[in-house]
């Protein structure tokens, strides 16, 4: 791996005697019955050190400072699974964190990147073994834990998901947190009774990562999809994903009444603010609004009327903290019936790790369509 130096560590000839000692120790313990074949001896901390490159964010009094730095495993936030990172992605949240446009980090210094995929190097948890293909999304990456913009990551086993057999390491980061979030929204909509016969589902922020994948998923499930976007030049792109109609956000008349005319069977909202308030007032009886993002603001102006007179449900979508079973369910469905049919169209770009710092500004200006994969070390 380029830029990954090892001192008596993984992949180095210098560590062969050390590995031999570790393997001999494991063999003797297993023969004596002290440990079972499935138990894991944590050799990574005791027997070697790894030096690797990471894109690190330092929270300042005003803004942030960022750059590539050399680190070792012991410098990373705590975890019982060490992963050699292959791919990550760029999300709007990553751009906010890396540029300091919003205070994403809850601790002063962390590696950026809210998701990654790779292979296990070592594990202190018996559920994972060296060589396992895994992914991590959310779980506080780049908020309270070091994230995926690093050639090596260390995370708690409860955050780690095995990569489904039908998906490659790049595939899961092509979908990444955006696909994962869209899948959680789909699952919650389904559980709350959303179906195509309710009427069209409107997707806001439709050309973004979550929006694009949501349009694809909904269309694949037989929903009529309306895309709300300010990018009229991207209508052909959205049509290819499955959108059948469009609302121009620059020409949108939202009205002021507690209840406006019911237009939508349901909604997937990626922008929040005034738009989310409007959606609650224009969704038809017993429809659902999945609330995902807040790019347009965190203030919600609505009344109780949509909820008590139309039975509208506002579903909060949190892709960071959730039951472990739901995390695994979402990725199994992303490998199956929720797998985007037009993933190559949604994810046209793969950039190298060294090019990462120059990629964030385009996300803040809204000039990016779809998603970007970052090749960390594959």
Gap between the Cα atoms of 50 and 171, Å rounded: 27
pLDDT for residue 14: 37
**Joined tokens for residue 255:** 């009205």
pLDDT for residue 311: 98
What dotted CATH number matches 5-163+348-375? Answer: 3.90.180.10
**32 CB burial (10 A radius; 0-12, 13-18, 19+):** exposed
Q: What torsion, rounded to 10 degrees, do the Cα atoms 183, 189, 190, 196 define? A: -110
Gap between the Cα atoms of 120 and 118, Å rounded: 7
Gap between the Cα atoms of 353 and 68, Å rounded: 10
pLDDT for residue 260: 97
pLDDT for residue 182: 98
Class of domain 177-316: alpha beta
**Joined tokens for residue 254:** 């939202």
> Which residue is listed with tokens 């439709």?
206
* Range(s) of the chain covered by CATH 3.90.180.10: 5-163+348-375
pLDDT for residue 72: 97
pLDDT for residue 188: 97
pLDDT for residue 281: 98
17: Cβ contacts below 8 Å, ≥ 6 apart: none
* Range(s) of the chain covered by CATH 3.40.50.720: 177-316
Residue pair 204/294 in contact by the 8 Å Cβ criterion: no
Q: What pLDDT tens digit does each residue of the chain (378 aa) get?
A: 334 443 333 333 333 333 334 444 444 434 444 444 434 444 444 434 679 999 999 998 888 999 999 999 999 999 999 999 999 999 999 999 999 999 999 999 999 999 999 999 999 999 999 999 999 998 999 999 999 999 999 999 999 999 999 999 999 999 999 999 999 999 999 999 999 999 999 999 999 999 999 999 999 999 999 999 999 999 999 999 999 999 999 999 999 999 999 999 999 999 999 999 999 999 999 999 999 998 888 999 999 999 999 999 999 999 988 888 999 999 999 999 999 999 999 999 999 999 999 999 999 998 899 999 999 996
> Which residue is listed with tokens 């489904």?
164
pLDDT for residue 86: 98
pLDDT for residue 181: 97
């Amino acid at each position: 791996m380029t830029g990954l130096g090892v001192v008596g560590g993984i992949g180095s000839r210098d560590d062969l005697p050390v590995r031999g000692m570790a393997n001999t120790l494991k063999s003797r313990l297993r023969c004596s019955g002290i440990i079972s074949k499935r138990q894991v001896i944590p050799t990574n901390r005791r027997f070697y050190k790894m030096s690797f490159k990471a894109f690190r964010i330092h929270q300042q009094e005003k803004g942030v400072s960022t750059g590539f730095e050399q680190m070792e495993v012991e410098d990373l936030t705590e975890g019982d699974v060490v992963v050699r990172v292959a791919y990550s992605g760029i999300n709007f949240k990553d751009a906010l964190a890396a540029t300091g446009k919003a205070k994403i980090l809850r601790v002063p210094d962390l590696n950026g990147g809210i998701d990654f995929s790779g292979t296990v190097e070592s594990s202190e948890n018996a559920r994972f073994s060296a060589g396992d293909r895994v992914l991590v999304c959310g779980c506080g990456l780049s908020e309270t834990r070091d994230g995926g913009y690093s050639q090596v990551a260390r995370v708690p086993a409860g955050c780690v998901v095995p990569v489904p057999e039908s998906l490659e390491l790049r595939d899961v980061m092509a979908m990444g947190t955006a696909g994962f979030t869209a899948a959680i929204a789909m699952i919650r909509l389904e559980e709350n009774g959303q179906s195509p016969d309710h009427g069209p589902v409107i997707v806001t922020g439709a050309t973004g990562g979550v929006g694009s994948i949501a349009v694809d998923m909904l269309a694949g499930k037989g929903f009529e999809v309306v895309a709300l976007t300010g990018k009229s030049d991207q209508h052909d792109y959205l049509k290819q994903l499955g959108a059948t109609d469009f609302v121009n956000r620059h020409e949108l008349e939202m009205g002021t009444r507690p209840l406006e005319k019911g237009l939508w069977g349901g909604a997937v909202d990626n922008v929040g603010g005034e738009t989310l308030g409007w959606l609650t007032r224009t969704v038809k009886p017993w429809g659902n609004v999945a609330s995902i993002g807040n790019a347009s603001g965190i203030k919600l102006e609505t009344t109780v009327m949509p909820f008590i007179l139309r039975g509208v449900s506002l579903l909060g979508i949190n892709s960071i903290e959730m039951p472990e079973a739901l995390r695994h369910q979402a990725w199994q469905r992303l490998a199956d019936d929720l797998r985007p049919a037009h993933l190559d169209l949604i994810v046209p770009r793969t950039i190298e790790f060294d090019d990462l710092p120059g990629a964030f500004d385009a996300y803040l200006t809204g000039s990016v369509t779809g998603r970007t994969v970052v090749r960390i070390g594959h």
